[in-house]
């Protein structure tokens, strides 16, 4: 099992669309077993992959087992959660640890414990690492995350093997990579101090305390593309300049922190603006590449659905290749 966080501290980049559709493609086309953890208190991934009946259980009845159900016992000093429950999204072909707005209530506890250190500080910081130790039945565990550098996201990133960086094609996304780099360095430094201060690490009840997070790759998103003379879809000039700056920005800020396999291509793919396919996919609670006429697809939309399948095929192939390269 490999764990992958989909993360950037800039909002509105299409992160949830990427993680849900890549998970669905790997599950339905590549026959991988995927668990998606909705670690964003906004619960966008949960709202995307389930109908209103499930959302009613979360928001109104509060009867569903969610990520808050998993996190709450530890925040109350009762130890790690046992008997975690996942919900099957049939349309996406994946299992999901449902999101919950109440997860935001855990933020202060995680922050306080991180600052205090000691056994409790390490135990809460490694909440998601301990959770992952029970996920060996899956090929991949994906985390959808909110756009912040807060304590919830810190705990997720410390837990994971890799992270993927979704980038909208603007200068703000490029600058965000510098922020992420600085914070990762600081978190690693502080974590090492916390671990060195433990007299009996086994009291954390976490067998694996290694920090191993690495950048797996990035995906360019939300740009306008047009077909060139050869029939290939390319970004228009306004976006091409920013795209050309991305590899250097990634190399200078993030790749220098890790030992990378020789010749690794960190660009997993590009997703141009898919316009009306996005709301159609959201309304039908289905992957973009699986939309049909019954979901409102007409005319030229059919070709765009096929193009989206090709896009996620390339991203899935590059994703799998990079995971293998790191092993």
Per-residue pLDDT band at 234 (split at 50, 70, 90): low
Which of 195-199, 222-226, 242-246, 306-310 is most confident? 306-310
Q: Which two tokens stand for residue 93?
A: 């072909």
Half-sphere exposure of 10 (CA within 13 A, CB side): 19
Instruction: Evaluate if residue 118 carries a pLDDT over 60.
Output: yes
Return d(Cα 225, Cα 28) in angstroms, integer.
27
Where in the chain are the domains?
2-326
Distance from C-alpha of 92 to C-alpha of 38, rounded to nearest angstrom: 14
Distance of CA 58 to the CA centre of its chain: 21
Reported confidence tier of residue 226, pLDDT bands at 50, 70, 90: low
Is the model's pLDDT at 211 over the cut of 80? yes
| Banded model confidence at residue 170, pLDDT cuts 50, 70, 90 | confident
Question: Is the pLDDT reported for residue 199 higher than 90?
Answer: no
Q: Which of 152-161, 266-275, 294-303 has the highest mean pLDDT?
A: 152-161
Q: CA-based diameter of the chain, in Å?
A: 66
CATH homologous superfamily, domain 2-326: P-loop containing nucleotide triphosphate hydrolases (3.40.50.300)
Beta carbons within 8 Å of 302's beta carbon, 6+ residues apart: none
Of 17-21, 41-45, 172-176, 280-284, the range with the lowest mean pLDDT is 172-176
Mean local confidence (pLDDT), 246-271: 82
Q: What is the mean pLDDT of the chain?
A: 90
Q: For residue range 42-98, what is the model confidence (pLDDT) as tens digits?
A: 999 999 999 999 999 999 999 999 999 999 999 888 889 988 999 999 999 999 999
What number is the average pLDDT over the span 171-199?
87
Q: What pLDDT score does 222 carry? A: 65
d(CA 37, CA 198): 29
**For residue range 120-131, what is the model confidence (pLDDT) as tens digits?**
999 999 999 999
């Amino acid at each position: 099992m490999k764990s992958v966080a989909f993360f950037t501290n800039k909002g509105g980049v299409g992160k949830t669309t990427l993680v849900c559709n890549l998970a669905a493609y790997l599950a339905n086309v590549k026959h991988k077993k995927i668990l998606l953890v909705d670690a964003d208190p906004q619960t966008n991934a949960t709202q995307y992959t389930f109908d209103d009946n499930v959302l009613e259980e979360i928001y109104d009845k509060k009867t569903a087992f969610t990520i808050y159900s998993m996190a709450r016992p530890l925040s109350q000093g009762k130890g790690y959660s046992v008997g975690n429950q996942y919900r099957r999204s049939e349309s996406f072909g994946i299992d999901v640890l449902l999101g919950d707005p109440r997860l935001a209530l855990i933020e202060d506890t995680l922050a306080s414990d991180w600052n205090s250190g000691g056994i409790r500080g390490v135990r809460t910081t490694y909440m998601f690492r301990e959770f992952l130790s029970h996920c060996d039945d899956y090929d991949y565990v994906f985390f959808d995350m909110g756009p912040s550098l807060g304590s919830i996201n810190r705990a997720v990133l410390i837990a994971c093997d890799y992270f993927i960086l979704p980038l909208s094609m603007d200068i703000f996304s490029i600058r965000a990579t510098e922020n992420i780099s600085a914070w990762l360095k600081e978190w690693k430094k502080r974590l090492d101090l916390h671990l060195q201060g433990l007299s009996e690490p086994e009291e954390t009840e976490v067998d694996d305390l290694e920090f191993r997070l690495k950048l797996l790759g990035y995906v360019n998103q939300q740009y306008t593309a047009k077909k060139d003379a050869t029939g290939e879809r390319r970004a228009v000039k306004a976006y091409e300049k920013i795209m050309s700056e991305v590899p250097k920005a990634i190399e200078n800020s993030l790749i220098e922190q890790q030992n990378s396999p020789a010749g690794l291509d960190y660009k997993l793919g590009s997703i141009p603006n898919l316009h009306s396919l996005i709301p159609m996919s959201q309304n039908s609670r289905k992957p973009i590449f699986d939309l049909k006429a019954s979901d409102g697809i007409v005319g030229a939309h059919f070709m765009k659905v096929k193009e989206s399948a090709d896009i996620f095929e390339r991203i899935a192939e590059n994703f799998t290749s990079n995971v293998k390269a790191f092993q």
